[in-house]
Amino acid sequence: MRAIRFERTGGPDVLELVDVETPMPGPRQILIHHEAIGVNFIETYQRSGLYPMKLPSGLGGEAAGVVTAVGDEVTRFKIGDRVATAGGGVGPGAYADYSIAAAERAVALPDTIDSRTAAAALLKGMTTEFLLRRLHRVEAGETILVHAAAGGVGQIMVQWAKALGAVVIATVGSEAKAARVRELGADHVILYRDQDVAAEVRRITGGKGVPVAYDSVGKDTFEGTLGSLARRGLFVSFGNASGPPPPVEGRQLMLGGSLFFTRPTMVDYQATTEELDTSAAALWAMIGSGQVKIEIGQTFALAEARKAHEALESRATVGASLLIP
């Protein structure tokens, strides 16, 4: 089978398409034949070395397809089942024709969810699910700040937050992306490359600031996010698209108005298979009801993984990106 590998960290050009042996599942594992592979920003951190990996390595954490082999002890799935994984893959990484997953870390796909939608939505949608419903429970009428709102996670967050009745202040990097997030329901849009985010948020909220801000951009938005929070507000730092944010000092949180700061990652909000299944079910329900629509903004052949990374890192993408084997 074909798989993307990298032997050293660096730019997109370190990604190579190679032929490898198709892996066999262990007793509690399944083999998935991929129909679509999700591309996520975290894979650029792994490729660049920001999140160190043992090298040489495969890459990718999200794929959807059909089970083609099961280990002896697997009862959760059988050959022919349609499944997806998001962060549950064991090897060689989702950027491949097949991957191995622990059976208890894969989810079944309902008939209504096709493989492309699943690969575009599962990781980004379950991230949204824990951020809006569990890390903090977004309430109807609450005003929230969502950065990079036209991106893969961002688009789902805007729509899900609107479904919960929130007022959404969205930030984006271009006029075209601004138009897109308005269509998705964002109430206010800030062009954060040109406008002062904190000043705009204060203006929109009558000086109060927001009770919660979701920041996946990191370095470039850190100050603006901090300055946008209301008294006792919550800073959710969940990504580093522009580079890691600076260290947070307790004093900054005090001066900002007794603020809270958290740095969550999805694995800790899906620590059990039950949490995984509940999170996925909530996502399928949001998609099924039409409240969350999944935009697949870009598709690339598996062999074009480099191009997919270049597009993502140059801010040229909207919605989700897929690799198609």
Residues near ligand NDP, by CB under 6 A: 40-42, 123-124, 127, 148, 150-154, 172-174, 177, 216-217, 220, 238-242, 264-266, 312-313, 315, 317
Closer of 266 and 296 to ligand NDP (Cβ): 266
How far apart are CB 163 and ligand NDP at their closest, in Å? Answer: 19
How far apart are CB 19 and ligand NDP at their closest, in Å? Answer: 28
Closer of 74 and 145 to ligand NDP (Cβ): 145
Closer of 31 and 120 to ligand NDP (Cβ): 120
Closer of 12 and 151 to ligand NDP (Cβ): 151
Structure token digits, residue 256: 């900002």
DSSP secondary-structure letter at 136?
S
Amino acid at 279: S
How far apart are CB 150 and ligand NDP at their closest, in Å? Answer: 5
d(CA 21, CA 132): 41
Closer of 35 and 43 to ligand NDP (Cβ): 43
d(CA 194, CA 192): 5
Question: Which of 18, 28, 35 lies closest to 325, judged by CA?
Answer: 35
How far apart are CB 179 and ligand NDP at their closest, in Å? Answer: 12
d(CA 116, CA 324): 9
Distances (CA, A) of 237 to 11, 16, 185, 234: 25, 32, 23, 10
Closer of 164 and 294 to ligand NDP (Cβ): 294
d(CA 91, CA 105): 13
d(CA 126, CA 108): 14
For tokens 């920001």, the residue is: 50
How far apart are CB 265 and ligand NDP at their closest, in Å? Answer: 4
How far apart are CB 20 and ligand NDP at their closest, in Å? Answer: 25
